[in-house]
Structure 1
Amino acid sequence: MMLLVSHAFFFGSDAMTNDERVGMVHSPIKRNAIWNLYQSVLMHKSFAQEFDRCAQTLQNYKEPVLCKEQAADFVLIIGESFNRHMSNLYDGAYDTNPRLRQRLAGGRLFVFRDVIASDNGTTQNFKQFLSTASVGETRQWCDAPLFPLVLRRCGYNVVFLSNQFAGAEMDKRFNASMGFFNDPRIASLLFDYRGTRTFAYDEQLVTYYEQQRKTLEQPKRNFVIFHLYGQHQRASERFPEGDTYFKSGDIRSTLNLSEAERQSVADYLNATRYNDLVVDHIIRLFEKRNAIVLYFADHGEEVYNYRHQLGRTDLATDVPRAKREQLDVPFLIYLTPSYAAVHSDMVARLRAAEGRPFMTDDLPHVIFDILGVRSREFVAAKSLINAQYQAPRKRLLQIKKWYE
């Protein structure tokens, strides 16, 4: 009884505030079964309230939207758990991206060198980079239009396929992972088509799209979103056995890694190399069309990079170095030959922007900029590729801490 009374006295009705309180050094109450149950109830209620607000925001969005781009397709590939420091497109020491490096040499793949996620969780990032609101604004993600609705409003056919959240998993309306996609008031406004099944490996998802594309696409102006399983734990399950390239004996580390730890690194590298194959496959599907392909990862992952840590941690309490491994993500834009041929200005803009600091919460503004979307929701100063871009001196994360 005393335990229940102490919980009732110490904790309030806001799950996030409670989480902060229980993490305090001198908190009289730590995580336990009662706390977990109470927090679950509060989070369920919080999600439901967010979904209601998001649905209301979308339904109230009546702005007439214009779009300068009248022909090109746009392909958005969302990777998973990709620490860019494990890629040799960046500073990685292993040959993880042979196909994309070959495209880089061709001059139409642009690699942005200082892009971070705003959080290290998939759901939190999806909410934020779909929303036209930015971290730190007075508006929360659910109080601003989500960018797929804006694109549909200006005539784009929006297709969404996820290899993580579809089918039976998505039937759980308030699932903490992507639950807002399940609310029919939301999904019906965001997508012309949303996938209903997942596959063992990402390339199977791409093949499925390839087989179905005639029924999914319109002749032009398609906005296709692929959400991959990428390098998500367990990495050993993210690539077919036949695509094994790295072995535990290939792993070089200054840490005294065990055989199992070396194998975990090798699995992650194999998943990264397989991801290279998948992304290249998607590019090939659109190679002969007038199209832009943008790839980035929702967040990073620690893979024994500088300490004995695999996976993600609570960045609010972890050491600063953890942000680098868990938030530094790849961000790539590829232009097909036909698109680049008639958009020389875009080639120059992308090349000028490759070194600018950016956070993926402002992704919609980059997309709007590329497609020439004319909307009150577009802010040129938030678009990485715009001459008016205001590069942040410091980047505020969703955990209310600075990245820098």
Structure 2
Amino acid sequence: MNSFPRKLFLKYLCITSRFEKGNLLRLALSLLTLNKSGCTHKRKEERTFFTFPFDVCFVCTNFAENKDLMKIVKPLNCLFAKIFSPVKGNALFFVMMYVLSCLCAWITLPPFKGATVYENLYTEQFVDLYMICLLLMLVPQKARRWVRLFLYIILYSVALADTYCFVKFSSTLNPSMLMLVGETNSREALDFISSLLSADFLFSNVGWIILLAVFNIFLAYLPHIKRLHLPQFSIEKYYPLAGLFTLFMIVWGAVASAHNKAATWKLMSGRSIGEVEHTLTEKDHAVLYTPFSRLVFSIYANKLAAKQVDKLVAASDKVKVDSCSFRSPNIVLIIGESYGKHHSQQYGYFMPTTPRQVKREHRGFLVPYSDVVAPWNLTSYVFKNVFSMHVVGQQGDWCDYPLFPELFRKAGYKVQFLTNQFLIEANAAVYDFSGGFFLNNPTLNKAQFDLRNEKLHVFDEDLLADYDRFVKEGKIDTKGPNLTIFHLIGQHVNYRTRCPKKQYKFSADNYTEKRPELSEKQRTILSYYDNAVRYNDSIVDQICKRFENKDAIVIYMPDHGEECYEESRGFICRNHSAAIDWPLAHYEFEIPFWIYCSPKYAHRHPEIFREVVQARRRRFMTDALPHMLLYLAGIQAKDYHPEYNILSDHYDEMRPRILKATTDYDKLREAYYKEKKNKK
């Protein structure tokens, strides 16, 4: 040491923080834990902390008392200790619930490539738990332990249920699961509990939650074991530093999670289940990253759905049919999925995607309509508008009016509904829940349908097999009167899975000349979509075949359009922007629509066939479809309005076609073509 000047050595110590009894952390701790009496060693070097001078002891690295510095540091010590006190007062609860939240995120991660946990999981969860602990500090200490116990039971139970659902149904808690729970009887509940205690589940990811709960209980009772002498640690002096870290995490977490908190508030403020669903289509929608938040959302969604169900049940009770002539013995409605009109050969697309429909059109019995739009580009909204007798522009909401299958059943028709989307399933997404809750509610289901399928299929051809089986078993009398509704999976994303590989017709190479601006990957996706369109062509043709020798009329409409690299727009699926411009309306709301009359039907009902042909160029929006269906059945009721029936002489063709309840499609189209003409 004599070889170094004392001052130079002290500077070296300050730079490297390699003091005899500590390091940089020790230095930071010493800043926060000044010894009031200072130290008695004489070898000191004067340093500065910001603008406050103090003396650093060469021997013990403590600090001599500096009154100016103490005036600031002492209050900071108290402040940081206070900030840390909610965590300190609920230490075990805070740590275990933090671990539980992270564990749930890890073990319910979807088994997909690139799947990651919520990016702000660790910081946002820290803030959430801190706020809970802060509220717990307001509870008297004797009562606090019971409140914590209650929270333990709730949070572990919800985490257990969430993980069980993921293991059993490949989905965490959602509104559909909660709806199923509401319909569960005592026997099914006992089966659930017994399955939860089975070895298969105990050794699955569910076991991690149980193991953590057991470890939590062990830690809680550890200090109460009399024979166990635990070492005592004095950590009070670290509280200010812990408080500083806590403050840092709170600020960081609050800033990072502010957007998600605002989005969650918006999600939980929706006035209807449809509004909630639409909120979830937004790009930066809320992330419900904990089992408890998913449970709360599921309860809220079911509560919103229940309100509309109550209105629908009330409207159903008032359904009255004055008379029915059974004008059409067999009415078939095919509802497709995500079908862009501009990918239909029938409407001028450059690929042969609809050869069978074109062939039927050439025979003269299939009549395509040229100017039809959907009211929404979201399936659930379309279903609500199409099934309700309400049309856009009328007073009230869709749920204030009866559903058209109810009128058919009331009139004496047998109604069959075969769907490849809207069955009650535990892993159904919010979109399927929103679109199907009014179809799956036991009361409304009974009021609307005589027969339904019980299983979803990968391909729509199996839905036809269900129909054939029902006919073979005598559950469907093909002589009628029947209303048969087929709801297809159609061209729903993922496009590649919507057509059997053996039926692939197109590949990326087929688009090299027509779409050279697209990449190889984009052309491949485009080929998947067009293959799905062509497969859909085979399905609707098979449905027509089943009725072509009967007195039957078949109506086809998809729920909405779809984009698949249209022009230079560069994306697939749909854009759920609130603002609708012309390209959006053109590609996502315009849909193919046709009516097929069997030869027998055209012969027996020439006046209807003539009306079908004459109406093919009329403007139409599918929210008015039920009025045409009632006319085809010959149903007379107060809910039927001829001005909404496209086949009627009293049809109001100039009725505004309002998209998403905001934008007039015809005004948008008129403005676009006017601007285009002016540019020329």
TM-score, scaled to structure 1: 0.89
Residues 1:113 and 2:374 are matched in the alignment: no
Matches within 5 A, 1:325-364: 325-364=587-626
Query: CA offsets, 1:142-174, max 9 Å, x none?
Result: 110100010111110000000122253599999
**Identity percentage of aligned residues:** 31
Pair 257,91 (structure 1): closer, same or farther in 2 beyond 3 Å: same
Structure 2 segments unaligned to the other structure (5+ residues):
1-130, 132-253, 669-680
Aligned equivalents of 1:201, 1:237: Cα separation in 2: 8
Matches within 5 A, 1:114-193: 114-166=371-423, 168-169=425-426, 175-193=433-451
Residues 1:45 and 2:303 are matched in the alignment: yes
- Counterpart for residue 314 of structure 1: 576
Aligned equivalents of 1:69, 1:332: Cα separation in 2: 22
Aligned equivalents of 2:288, 2:455: Cα separation in 1: 36
Residue 328 of structure 1 aligns to a residue in which SS?
coil
Amino acid at match of 1:53: K
Matches within 5 A, 1:215-364: 215-218=474-477, 219-251=479-511, 252-253=513-514, 256-306=517-567, 307-364=569-626
Q: CA RMSD in A?
A: 3.0
- Does the CA contact (< 8 Å) of 2:423 and 2:436 recur in 1? no
Aligned equivalents of 1:104, 1:184: Cα separation in 2: 40
Structure 1 segments unaligned to the other structure (5+ residues):
24-29
Aligned equivalents of 1:69, 1:391: Cα separation in 2: 26
Aligned equivalents of 1:389, 1:172: Cα separation in 2: 38
Residue 555 of structure 2 aligns to a residue in which SS?
strand
Pair 11,176 (structure 1): closer, same or farther in 2 beyond 3 Å: closer
Aligned equivalents of 2:608, 2:491: Cα separation in 1: 31
- Does the CA contact (< 8 Å) of 1:170 and 1:182 recur in 2? no
- Does the CA contact (< 8 Å) of 2:328 and 2:553 recur in 1? no
Aligned equivalents of 1:123, 1:170: Cα separation in 2: 17
Residue 360 of structure 2 aligns to a residue in which SS?
helix
Aligned equivalents of 1:127, 1:340: Cα separation in 2: 31
Aligned equivalents of 2:392, 2:577: Cα separation in 1: 16
| Structure number with bigger Rg | 2
What is the Cα deviation at residue 84 of structure 1? 0.9
Aligned equivalents of 2:349, 2:556: Cα separation in 1: 18
- Counterpart for residue 324 of structure 2: 67
- Counterpart for residue 368 of structure 1: 630
Residue 378 of structure 1 aligns to a residue in which SS?
coil
Aligned equivalents of 2:327, 2:612: Cα separation in 1: 20
Aligned equivalents of 2:625, 2:580: Cα separation in 1: 27
- Does the CA contact (< 8 Å) of 2:365 and 2:596 recur in 1? yes
Amino acid at match of 1:257: L
TM-score, scaled to structure 2: 0.54
- Does the CA contact (< 8 Å) of 1:167 and 1:198 recur in 2? no
Amino acid at match of 1:324: H
Pair 262,386 (structure 1): closer, same or farther in 2 beyond 3 Å: same
Pair 169,294 (structure 1): closer, same or farther in 2 beyond 3 Å: farther
Pair 31,83 (structure 1): closer, same or farther in 2 beyond 3 Å: closer
Pair 345,169 (structure 1): closer, same or farther in 2 beyond 3 Å: farther
Pair 12,107 (structure 1): closer, same or farther in 2 beyond 3 Å: closer
Residue 76 of structure 1 aligns to a residue in which SS?
strand
Q: Would you tell me which structure has more helix in proportion to its own residues?
A: 2
Aligned residues: 396
